[in-house]
Amino acid sequence: MVSPRRRTTCRACGHAGFAPVLSLGTQSLTSFPLPGQPTRRGPLEAVLCKRCKLFQMRWTYPGSWLYSWYGYRSGVNPIMVRALRDMAERVVELARPQPGTGWSKLCGMQWVLDIGSNDGTYLRMMPEGVGRVGFEPARNLQPQAREGLTLLVDDYFSVSPLRKWISGYGKAKVVTALAMFYDLDRPAAFLRDVARVLREDGVLVIQMTSASGIPQERVAALDEAAMLLSDSIGVSLREESAALRMTKIAAINEAGINIISTLDLLRLQKLVATSACLIMEAESCVIRLLDAATGKYAIRDFYGMKAESDQKDLFRMDKKAVTEVLKGASSILVRDVAEEEGWKEFAGIARTLLCLPLKSDGEIIGTVSIFDKFPHKTFYSTSFNNDDRGTFEKFIRYVEKAIGNAIAFERNDRLKNLDEATGLPTLKYFQGRLHHELSRAKRFKRRLVLMICEVTPKLTGREFAAVDRGEIVVKRLASVLRGSLREYDVVARISEWKFGMILPEAEDGRMSAIPRIKKAIHTEVEEIRKRIKDVRVDLRFGHASYPEDGDDHEKLIFKSNILKM
Ligand SMILES: [Zn+2]
């Protein structure tokens, strides 16, 4: 049950100290009772705040008593219509809301918001093509109030009904509070909410009335008040975002520790993409890393909700940002894709974008881009700004270190199993793979061929050669072997002059692969002899196949090591 509330603190400054001014006892409310319903009555008292000197009513009456049935329509009185037209013209001149390109597209929208829009008379005076949005709780006004409006919320003003709307069309260009501001019980909270739905370059119009007009010195005072008001709203929004930023930086430091300690590159990429989205409140993240073999910046990870068909568009957009970063831009921040020159073609794919390079020793080793910002606890998208860029840069510093670590770790790991001269795997790797391939061959009942090739270069004299010609021979033969095998065959350098090969699924292995490999090696030796005259290469081969020559590791190794010319 709602009932009138006696205020103990000032509506404007919150001070608890009123000086009584006037008390007229119990009076009827200025509401519009339905026929047969009693007129509500209550105390009428006026007080003065002792601190800020705001003259105000002592009692606050429930909104439902006053506004659910509102008997006064703006359009009913020609004087009021004229006054509203005058107001509308001045607002349009001041704010210049631009007509949108259409309501079906999420671009080029501009809209105005009227709080307490009554029967919509004022909103209908706004230019064609500008979105007209109203809040009006009075039920009896609804049919007329909707006419010519783009959106009518049949309630008191609050931010939440606009969240989805703002995510599509951005914030309001103009907010008007006509002949209603003085009815508010919490004007400061109202202004904070207005600040949440108004563009940075938006205009707020608050209409106050005075019987005798406003004298010049009062206008000057109002100017000052407006300035203070916008300052204090700015400060409170900044405080809010500063608090948020501190939380984000704490989250970055925490995520950073996780990231730095992850040495597996694949896992690291996933972790970076999800952490970037969580911390930056982004919807999607694209990570690219330099592929040393192709010199291209290939997409290594994507995190986000986008369907596969939309991902392509997002990747195209990312490519543009990455290209600019590679050309030397230190970062790319696109606040509003629909409004920024050169980005308009991507309107509707993402609203906002932030892209930073990953550097290592001054070289760009990759990029991280985030798209669409959905602030915590809200459902509407906003734009990335300079603060976000600063925060994201802090995060990226961790990512650079972590990726550098992971790449170095992977390289070391690979080197441990790789022969330095030939780039082929070593004996340790070969043995591991043989076990693995043999159990696979058994499981799938496939033949497997194991082959050993011994290459002994015989060089005459020349003990103090500038280059190790023996190693040159081995290197060239290694590359010939690799080239004559299939992609999934294994070749390793298992000792100084021996190569080991595993040919899985070698159904015709005995018949064709072995002579073919032998022939390739012989041809290469002929080539080498043309260049290095005094070289002789002794070649010996051995092979074994599963299951014919044995069904375990030892038997196969034994058989394949019986080497023949
Ligand atoms: Zn006060």
Q: How far is the CA of 58 from the centre of ligand 1 (A)?
A: 12
How far does the centroid of ligand 1 lie from the alpha carbon of residue 243, in Å? 27
- Using the mean position of ligand 1's atoms as its centre, give its distance from the Cα of residue 51 in Å: 5
pLDDT of res. 69: 84
Distance in Å, CA 420 to ligand 1 centroid: 81
Ligand 1 centre from 198 Cα, in Å? 26
CA 274 to CA 350: how far, in whole Å?
A: 18
pLDDT digits (tens, 9 = 90+) for 385-423: 998 999 999 999 989 989 888 888 777 766 667 777 777
CA of 48 to the centre of ligand 1 (A): 8
User: Once rounded to an integer, what is the mean pLDDT over residues 130-144?
Assistant: 92
C-alpha of residue 3 to centroid of ligand 1, in Å: 24
Mean pLDDT of 281-289: 92
Q: How far is the CA of 478 from the centre of ligand 1 (A)?
A: 88
pTM of the model: 0.48
- For 206-236, how does the pLDDT look when each residue is reduced to its tens digit (9 = 90+)? 987 777 777 887 777 777 777 777 776 677 6
Q: How confident is the model at residue 468, as a pLDDT?
A: 64
344, 338 in Cβ contact below 8 A? yes
Instruction: Provide the pLDDT for residue 318.
Output: 96
Higher-pLDDT residue of 21 and 249 is 21
- Dist. CA 15 → ligand 1 center (Å): 5
For ligand 1, the distance from its centroid to the CA atom of residue 229, given in whole angstroms, is 15
Please tell me the distance between residue 19's alpha carbon and the centre of ligand 1 in angstroms: 11
Long-range contact list for 320-324, CB < 8 A, 24+ apart? 320/346, 321/353, 321/355, 321/367, 321/369, 322/288, 322/297, 322/355, 322/367, 322/369, 324/355
User: Which domains are assigned to the chain?
Assistant: 5-67 (no CATH), 74-209 (3.40.50.150), 246-414 (3.30.450.40), 427-560 (3.30.70.270)
How close is the Cα of 41 to the center of ligand 1, in Å?
Answer: 27
Q: Among 204, 185, 115, which Cα is nearest to 154's?
A: 115
**Cα(223) to centroid of ligand 1, in Å?**
19
Gap between the Cα atoms of 112 and 51, Å rounded: 35
Determine the pLDDT at residue 1.
66
Strand ranges for 388-546 from DSSP E: 448-459, 490-495, 498-504, 535-546
**What is the maximal distance between C-alpha atoms in the chain?**
125
How many other C-beta atoms can be found within 10 angstroms of the C-beta atom of residue 219?
11
pLDDT in the model for residue 562: 82
* 18 alpha carbon – ligand 1 mean position (Å): 8
Average pLDDT, integer, range 6-19: 89
C-alpha 172 to ligand 1 mean position (Å): 30
Q: State the Cα angle at 497 between 492 and 501, rounded to 5°.
A: 30
CA of 179 to the centre of ligand 1 (A): 21
Note the pLDDT tens digit of each residue in 503-556.
Answer: 887 665 455 677 888 888 888 888 888 877 777 778 888 888 888 888 888 888
Mean pLDDT of 253-265: 78
CA–centroid distance, 310 to ligand 1, in Å, is 54
Average pLDDT (328-332) is 94
% of the chain at pLDDT higher than 70: 91
What is the pLDDT confidence band of residue 307, given thresholds at 50, 70 and 90?
A: confident
| Ligand 1 midpoint to CA 50 (Å) | 7
